[in-house]
Amino acid sequence: MEKKTYRNMFAQAGIPEEKIRKRLEEVKYTFFYDPEKKVYFPVGDDMAYICDTGNNDARTEGMSYGMMMCVQLDMKEEFDRIWKWAKTYMWMSEGENEGYFAWSCATDGSKNAYGPAPDGEEFFAMALFFASHRWGDGEGIFAYSTEAKEILRACLHKGQNGRPGTPMWNLDNHQILFVPGIDFTDPSYHLPHFYELFALWAYEEDRAFWKEAARASREYLAVACHPETGFSAEYAEFDGSPMSRPLPWTTDRHDWFFSDAYRTAANIGLDYEWFGVDLGQRAAADRIQKFLLANLHSGEYHIWETDGRIAQTGVLHPLGIPATVAQASLAAKEPQAMEWVKAFFEMPMRDGVRRYYDNCLYVFAYLALSGNYRIW
């Protein structure tokens, strides 16, 4: 690929470069090493896990996020530790989900579940490709590029040629599934900027699929984000409408703008920064920033219906919303984007038991807005 220049929106907002660099080091220390606030925990001589402190477990979401952060920050030892823990305890070598990763494990490595969550697999694969290109392939599980390609092969080819299980993507409409075999999706799982790169680096037989998936996901995000608020639902139908059908494993709602859904605007921002392709999805960045501008100033966030009605006052992840909406500035056209960027820079990371998810989103937003979330 051609060498790319990445925008530093903090610098564009007038923040001095030295202050930006110093804050990046503080963010890294807080997430990985601060005794009171870290979520990264080494195990023995060569493994580590990222802890979801609100649920006291390790999830493929957080493990793969941690690997992506490490490759962006040039932290090879920490990357390898997280990857070895994931491959040792989370990866499934047999059964219906052979080739996938158990989405949740206890911190001792025992599996809490034997099903996967596809956002983990796509982040694992992308982080591994970047590690291969930044540091070079090693041996065994550290042959990063081979590991990435095998993950993607499983995602598309389960159920074929005698292989058990079902794919993580709908092979007809090219949309990622909430879980394998289900008939709906999660808008925040749609990462067209990853699929563009999978189309270059996956096994050759799958590259055309990934190229089409990038197009399909951008078109999907354009309709999954509400035309006035820019909000997406946590779970959504293949046509983009919120998924409100009853589910056998939960009575919780997932058809509103809540935890998972915060990531959608951030993903739109990073995709546009990396590839500059707009199939209608970019407008959601301006809509969500405009709709929530008063909340940015007040600091009050809620659980909203996708049309903007307040469903419940208060919110579980109050930092996750401004972090992801600030990251959407990478795709925004309107002047209020800089208000979000400046305000986000002044926000402290979260402490306390619920710090994990908010701080994951915070780190990604800081990397992206400082020009440090890059294609490797």
The catalytic position among 52, 61, 122, 196 is: 61
Q: Catalytic residue at 61?
A: yes
User: Which has the closest alpha carbon to 32: 86, 75, 64?
Assistant: 75
In terms of Cβ atoms closer than 10 Å to its own Cβ (0-12, 13-18, 19+), residue 162 is: exposed
- Give SS3 for 18: helix
Query: Cβ distance 352 to 57 under 8 Å?
Result: no
Question: What whole-number distance in Å separates Cα of residue 149 and Cα of residue 204?
Answer: 10
Contacts of residue 38, Cβ cutoff 8 Å, sequence gap at least 6: 30, 31, 32
Query: Cβ distance 270 to 277 under 8 Å?
Result: no
The catalytic position among 147, 206, 260, 358 is: 260
Q: Catalytic residue at 80?
A: no
Question: What whole-number distance in Å separates Cα of residue 154 and Cα of residue 192?
Answer: 19
The label of the residue with tokens 């779970």 reads 235
Q: Position 354: which residue type?
A: R
Query: Cβ distance 343 to 14 under 8 Å?
Result: no
Question: What whole-number distance in Å separates Cα of residue 162 and Cα of residue 358?
Answer: 41
By annotation, the residues acting in catalysis are: 61, 260
